[in-house]
Amino acid sequence: MKKTGKKTKPTVADLLKTPSPVASPAEDSPKSAIFTRAASTSKAAKRVPLPTSTSPPRSHRAPSNISDLRNFASSGVDDLKRRIDRSHSEILKDLEASHSRIHKRFKMQTQAYQQVMDEAEKEYKKVSERITESRDAMKASYEEFIAEAQASASRACKTSIVELSQSFEKAIDSLRNRYGVSSN
């Protein structure tokens, strides 16, 4: 096929071709914050530009008819949809990574809390056992002391009362003899 000298209108396929980086003018690249991604909170973060449009090269001339304008608008909308989808998928990946990190951190903290609770439970049981042993020892000691005191009091009462009674009888007899009172 020979090319004739006539200029032909660009076809839709020509418009959808990705331009070469050399062919696209520098002023056509977007400079808006929408097209570049930067973490303004971190000093160490570096700017990562998003991939530029895969739409057809923008010509400096206005579209010549409605179908060209429609094709141009359609390709721009498609490009915007692709960028939004890409951003959305990146956001979802970041969200899933954050969720995973938070889940791991929560799991680790839960395990640490469980370990602390187990140690506290063991310590509580030890202290409770010591208190029980101490209470039982004091109870046995008290019972032994009371039994000893009662036995001592009982011995004292048995011997002392008898001895006192005999002593009083002797004293009364001696007083009677001294004063000459007879016993009835």
**Could you report the per-residue pLDDT of 90-144, keeping only the tens digit for each?**
999 999 999 999 999 999 999 999 999 999 999 999 999 999 999 999 999 999 9
Instruction: Copy the structure tokens of residue 2.
Output: 């020979």
Mean pLDDT over 38-58 rounds to 47
Q: What single letter denotes the amino acid at residue 52?
A: T
Highest mean pLDDT: which range of 4-18, 69-83, 114-128: 114-128
Q: Which residues contact 30 (CB under 8 A, 6 or more apart)?
A: 52, 53
Element (H, E) at 132: helix 66-179
Main-chain phi, psi angles of 36, to 5 degrees: -120, 150
Task: Report d(CA 169, CA 92) in Å as an integer.
Answer: 111
Mean pLDDT over 135-156 rounds to 92
Asked if 72 contacts 63 with a C-beta cutoff of 8 angstroms, the reply is yes
What pLDDT is attached to residue 83? Answer: 96
What percent of the chain has pLDDT above 70?
Answer: 65
Main-chain phi, psi angles of 48, to 5 degrees: -120, 110
Instruction: Copy the structure tokens of residue 95.
Output: 């969200």
Residue entry with tokens 């660009």: 10
64 or 89: which leads in pLDDT: 89
Residue entry with tokens 């007083």: 175
Question: How many CB atoms sit inside 10 A of residue 53's CB?
Answer: 22
180 or 89: which leads in pLDDT: 89
Average pLDDT, the chain: 78
Mean pLDDT over 70-99 rounds to 94
Task: Report d(CA 38, CA 47) in Å as an integer.
Answer: 5
Task: Report d(CA 116, CA 118) in Å as an integer.
Answer: 5
